[in-house]
Structure 1
Amino acid sequence: MSVHFHPLPAAEVSAIRANRIDAYGNPVERAICDGPGHPCRACLTETAAGQPFLTLAHRPFEGQNAFTETGPIYLCESCAGTPPSADLPAILSAPTYIVRGYSSNERIVYGTGQVTPTAEISTYAATLLARDNIAFVDVRSASNNCFLCRIKPA
């Protein structure tokens, strides 16, 4: 099975940039990158030194239940985003990440979460997505547990 890495949806990113309110109802923070970059969830690259970026609490789920985690993310203030791709995103440059499967009702499927070497993320995600009870896979920081991107079947 082929997989695609998905950034945050463009409409969602546009709404965040327009209303400047995060998942908790707090104002989005704006700063200038002093390098090294911050991983943008819209373009899936790191912000360049001197580039403005946003920091906010975000919940990458449509509904809410006990499994819909909220955490900090970064967005470039004005990047164009990126389409889903089979290529490993540039923001995934650490040695390992937490990779975890979710059901169609946005609940963690127990036993799927594991710290995964970066080079094995696509293979592990494909294995998970081949299961009938897995709708999507999220990639999170192994050190901070921050949401980075979503993986879906290609």
Structure 2
Amino acid sequence: MVALAGAGAPILAACGGGEDAGSAGTTGTSAPPSSAPTSASSSAPSSSAPSSSAPASGTVLGPASEVPVGGGKVYTDAKVVVTQPAAGQYKGFSAVCTHQGNPIGSVEGGQIVCPFHNSHFSISDGSVVSGPARRPLPGVDVAVQGSNIVQTT
């Protein structure tokens, strides 16, 4: 009987113990979660126009051609997901789910998806579409430089 109680406790802790406990997994962000959509939105004008005259400043994530219109691409090593909600409009978000700090898995059907507990986020502003996550994905500054997506901060 004791073994059953002990075996059940980690399962409860993993799925129900702390909603949004993943905030500890977003240690790389300095902006509070409530400012994430603003950050992502404010980067949209600068990231939507290619800047071929300026030298690359930041980390090159990959070719802009890898990010489909109405979808996105997860850059696992950089822990960044880049979306393109409308043609030429690129948005960057943390690829760490705000529910429990698990990595984002994909962008499907116009939503950013965490496969661990099935949280879905908007490709436009990182807001929660369906939980268990309750907080939006923090924004990450990205820009198109030449033909590449670059993380600028």
Query: Taking structure 2 as the reference length, what is the TM-score of the superposition?
Result: 0.27
The structure with more helix, counted as a fraction of residues: 2
Query: Taking structure 1 as the reference length, what is the TM-score of the superposition?
Result: 0.27
Larger radius of gyration: 2
Higher relative contact order (CA 8 A, sep 6+): 2
